A and B are shown apart, each in its own frame.
Chain A
């Protein structure tokens, strides 16, 4: 399999009045053609900052970006604005959480989609409009020819997110980055949008980078998962590995702290104590250690260093960054976590 996108040791740091914010600090991953990678984390974990870095959207801001972001043989981080502009929309496209804010309020949606097509295709405005109509129909918007003339605020949240999807797929990009695309939507509409993304992925063959905080969404749509905490990747694996046999105590905490729709209910939730750390003064060593209920079981001092993201057993695809020994993790998972899942 060939990787569509390779990210190597990505760092995004912001200089602020209070100090250096290490929003993303050394993250590496790749996405294969036609596959979906879910990046999961809570607010401040660095998942959205990562996605903006891939699109090169930190250019011109105060962010210091380092590392390699390879797509179509170009390193986004080294490339000029003009070179990145050739990739944006064509090789990689992005949809956002808040579709009302993400669409221009003063332009008709048809024109906004046509514009996205015209940037990369030398066609007449009329031909681009025709593409826009087709795309609107393809994403399931009824009466696309009439709705072309409408403005973003005239659509419901779900229909507007469809418009965003139509726009982002108009140039048939290899990679679609979806930053919490369903978080603002109702659950039945979310289901429609996730179905649509799956269908379109099959049809267009694009890879998807799904940024989300919702493990349910990941389970629905992702092939692989990258779990982020405080700017670092702390676990990586297939969706089954991460959700069925997670290795990191933070992943355990997430899975046991969410209420479930099925099964028994009366038990108290196993909440992760404390709050995520400040990205300016990160705890020494493992950044999750202050909230970790299992650090006293570790034979290594968890505050000594950030553990490497290393393979579980011989299995190279499932990686975890934890000081607990593998046997300890297996034992804890079996006795304390698995019964709660």
Chain B
């Protein structure tokens, strides 16, 4: 188990290095010259050269990458020795070209909004998805199954921006049941935080629960036809205990896997949701950075998203090992 974990962590670290090389390479593949971007409108060749020096763009590429990585690991000092010396503590991802803020500070500011969306929505979609999937599987071919299947099909085929805007139009603008979506700190204004989050939660929760409902239904129906379920019935167990102990135990494993991966992806930034509801999260930060060609911020958001996805994969595999004895021992 421990050896496996170590192996997976080494693998994850390798992936992170490759991702960082790839995004770092963006600096030089993109037609945009960072120094030119940072230089602004009234740019002179002298100023440009100075910025180049400040941003350490005047040294060879591998050395730049090395300093970048070193910055993440142990911090970095720009213009060392000069009076304009800038200390950037580890993990240093540089400064935004747009706002001159530390990228890490930007990420720290934006992360809570994304976390709020991700955790709230995931609880919602797990609850709705699992329960409607279970009911569908147990009441197969009844009206309740058909209804929930229909809703799931709708959910799977609609898009966040469409559903989000429709819900906002009716629930906020027309009926006034909800206040406008937005983000405030839950520490300071818990009620307002929840009110602002309801719409993103509902939208994301509804759409993703569709996938989970279908997954749960299909998984349970498949497990129900397994020989070991027949054995469980042959023991004299009640159908309740057959369904909720024997069937669920086997059907839940793949669902947990998908859930971990979905959550990991969402934690890196719910791009469309944040954009639609104007929530200042990591996804919004990424879209802003892309439209401004704010390269350090782009690199920062991509790395954070990659960390979440890699971590989610490792966690999912570990959980899978705990859930499936066959994997555990192989």
Point out residues on A near B: beta carbons under 8 Å: 52, 55, 57, 81-82, 85-90, 93-94, 96, 98, 101-107, 115-116, 119-120, 151, 153-154, 167
Contact = CB atoms under 8 A, between A and B. Distances in A.
Interface string B153-164: 000000000000
A167 B234 CA distance: 11
A153 B325 contact: yes
A55 B232 CA distance: 12
A101 B223 CA distance: 11
B226 A106 contact: no
A93 B237 CA distance: 12
B249 interface: yes
A85 B324 contact: no
Nearest to B232: A104
B234 A57 contact: yes
B236 A89 contact: yes
B236 A87 contact: yes
Nearest to A154: B329
Given A105-B228, A105-B325, A94 B250 contact: no
Interface residues of B, number: 22
B235 to A, nearest CB: 4
Interface string B211-238: 0000000000000001110111111111
Given A105-B325, A106-B250, A85 B237 contact: yes
Given A101-B227, A104-B249, A106-B249, 9 more contacts: A101-B226, A104-B232, A105-B250, A105-B326, A106-B253, A106-B323, A107-B249, A115-B237, A119-B235
B52 interface: no
B250 A104 contact: yes
B246 interface: yes
Candidate in B226, B231, B235, B325 with the most chain A CB atoms within 10 angstroms = B235
A272 B47 CA distance: 98
B328 to A, nearest CB: 9
A52 to B, nearest CB: 8
Nearest to A56: B233
A85 B236 contact: yes
B236 A106 contact: no
Contacts of A116: 235-236
Contacts of A103: 228, 231
A81 B239 contact: yes
Interface in B239-271: 239, 246, 249-250, 253
A94 B234 contact: yes
Nearest to B326: A153
A6 to B, nearest CB: 20
Nearest to A88: B236
Contact of B231 (A81, A82, A104, A106): A104
Contacts of B246: 104, 107
Given A102-B227, A104-B249, A106-B249, A151 B325 contact: yes
Contacts of B323: 106
A167 B236 CA distance: 12
A90 B227 CA distance: 20
A151 B231 contact: no
Nearest to B238: A85
Nearest to B246: A104
Contacts of A96: 227, 230-231
22 contacts: A55-B233, A85-B236, A85-B238, A86-B236, A90-B236, A93-B234, A96-B231, A98-B227, A102-B228, A102-B231, A103-B231, A104-B228, A104-B231, A105-B228, A105-B250, A105-B326, A106-B249, A106-B253, A106-B325, A119-B236, A151-B326, A153-B325
Contacts of A105: 228, 250, 324-326
A204 B200 CA distance: 64
Given A104-B246, A104-B249, A106-B325, A115 B235 contact: yes
| Among all A-B residue pairs, the 8 with the closest Cβ atoms | A89-B236, A88-B236, A101-B227, A151-B325, A104-B228, A89-B235, A102-B227, A116-B235
A89 B241 CA distance: 15
A151 B250 CA distance: 14
A120 B236 CA distance: 8
A239 B234 CA distance: 28
A96 B237 CA distance: 17
Nearest to B237: A119
A102 B227 CA distance: 5
Contacts of B228: 101-105
B246 to A, nearest CB: 6
A154 B329 CA distance: 9
A88 B227 contact: no
A202 to B, nearest CB: 24
Contacts of A52: 230
A118 to B, nearest CB: 10
A67 B70 CA distance: 81
A244 to B, nearest CB: 35
